[in-house]
């Protein structure tokens, strides 16, 4: 099967995945007893007034530690306390429940606003940005499952949509933007810089997890950011990263289903072009979406071990007293 024919098949596979996804209803927060307060066009759950007429400015400080965040910058799905003051939403997590919290954040990237779900474990040992694949979204149950395994190791996760809602609508018809790897990689770079600047995250190593075409974006972005400590691709298309493969210095793990023959061939070809530490793991009898019993669990275990081996706390050096 030619790569272009496989892209068409990939679109159909991901369409099936989308139909299976359990889309969460964001209007029902965990801590708001079903109440949704509107702040401008953004939902902040729960919130206390008075409310501004429009969205407040997006600010870049950490959401989980008494940081300032614009009214359009996050939704709270847990037990944090939020209030409006001086044009900003102020918020803080209950420390004992922080590991259970999921924040919806909005990240500016070259004029676009990217939506992402951020979860920060209590004992932080690394951070991984997820770039999903063709026609999928940050709500992908497969990526969420992998993220859950990383949380057990103390690894923060940012599940990211690299296309805006308007672009997703266009892409549903054309299928073109999901293969614009330069665009996707550039936005992943912006999101990485945003995450790296957050309090506490700046003390740990960063990694990328990419699925399908998101893997190509992750590899291309890793070629631009020297600080990336590890990359994992699940059922990915690393071949779409092109010449960037030879510039990736981060250790790369490629996970492919044994019955995903076309993608397996493409990953073997990409392995030859990767210059740094690399490994190809084949999950027996698994197909592209790892739908077979136990297949996704095997992939998640492989990814978790790779990140556990290569992430951790940054060496900030010894400071003078």
39 backbone dihedrals φ, ψ, rounded to 5°: -115, 105
Torsion angle defined by CA atoms of residues 60, 308, 304 and 126, in that order, rounded to the nearest 10 degrees: -10
Evaluate whether 203 touches 123 at the Cβ level (below 8 Å): no
Q: What is the mean pLDDT of residues 52-78?
A: 39
CB-count burial class (<10 Å; 0-12, 13-18, 19+) for 116: buried
More confident residue, 220 or 162: 220
What global pTM score does this model have?
0.71
Nearest to 15 by CA among 130, 131, 133: 133
**The architecture CATH gives domain 3-23+102-310:** 3-Layer(aba) Sandwich (3.40)
What mean pLDDT comes out for the span 190-219?
94
pLDDT reported for residue 63: 41
CA torsion sign for 174, 175, 178, 183 is negative
Residue 105 CB coordination number (10 Å): 21
Residues spanned by CATH 3.40.50.1820 within the chain? 3-23+102-310
Q: Identify any residues that bridge with 42 across adjacent strands, giving them in sequence order.
A: 39
Confidence class for position 235, pLDDT limits 50, 70, 90: very high
Q: What is the pLDDT of residues 285-302, one digit of tens each?
A: 999 989 999 999 999 999
- With beta carbons less than 8 A apart as the criterion, state whether 118 and 156 touch: yes
């Amino acid at each position: 099967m030619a790569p272009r024919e496989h892209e068409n098949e990939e679109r159909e596979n991901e369409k099936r995945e989308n139909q299976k996804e359990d889309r969460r209803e964001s209007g029902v927060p965990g801590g708001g007893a079903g109440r949704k307060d509107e702040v401008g066009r953004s939902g902040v759950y729960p919130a206390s007034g008075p409310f501004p007429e429009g969205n407040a400015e997006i600010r870049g400080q950490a959401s989980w530690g008494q940081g300032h965040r614009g009214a359009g910058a996050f939704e709270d799905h847990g037990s944090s306390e939020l209030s409006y003051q001086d044009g900003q939403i102020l918020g803080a997590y209950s420390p004992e429940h922080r590991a259970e919290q999921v924040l919806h954040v909005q990240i500016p990237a070259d004029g676009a606003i990217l939506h992402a779900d951020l979860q920060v474990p209590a004992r932080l040992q690394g951070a991984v940005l997820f770039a999903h694949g063709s026609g999928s979204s940050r709500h992908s149950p497969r990526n969420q499952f992998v993220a859950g395994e990383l949380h057990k190791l103390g690894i923060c996760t940012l599940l990211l949509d690299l296309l805006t809602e308007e672009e997703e609508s266009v892409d549903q018809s054309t299928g073109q933007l999901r293969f614009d790897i330069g665009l996707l990689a550039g936005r992943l770079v912006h999101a990485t810089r945003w995450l790296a600047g957050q309090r506490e995250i700046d003390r740990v190593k960063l990694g990328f997890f990419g699925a399908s075409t998101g893997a190509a974006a992750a590899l291309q972005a890793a070629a631009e950011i020297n600080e990336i400590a590890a990359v994992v691709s699940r059922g990915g298309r690393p071949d779409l990263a092109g010449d960037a493969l030879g510039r990736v210095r981060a250790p790369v793990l490629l996970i492919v289903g044994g019955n995903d023959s076309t993608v397996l061939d493409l990953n073997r070809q990409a392995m030859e072009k990767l210059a740094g530490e690399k490994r190809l793991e084949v999950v027996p009898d698994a197909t592209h979406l790892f739908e077979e019993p136990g297949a996704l669990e095997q992939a998640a275990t492989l990814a978790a071990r790779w990140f556990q081996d290569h992430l951790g706390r940054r060496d900030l050096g010894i400071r003078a007293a």
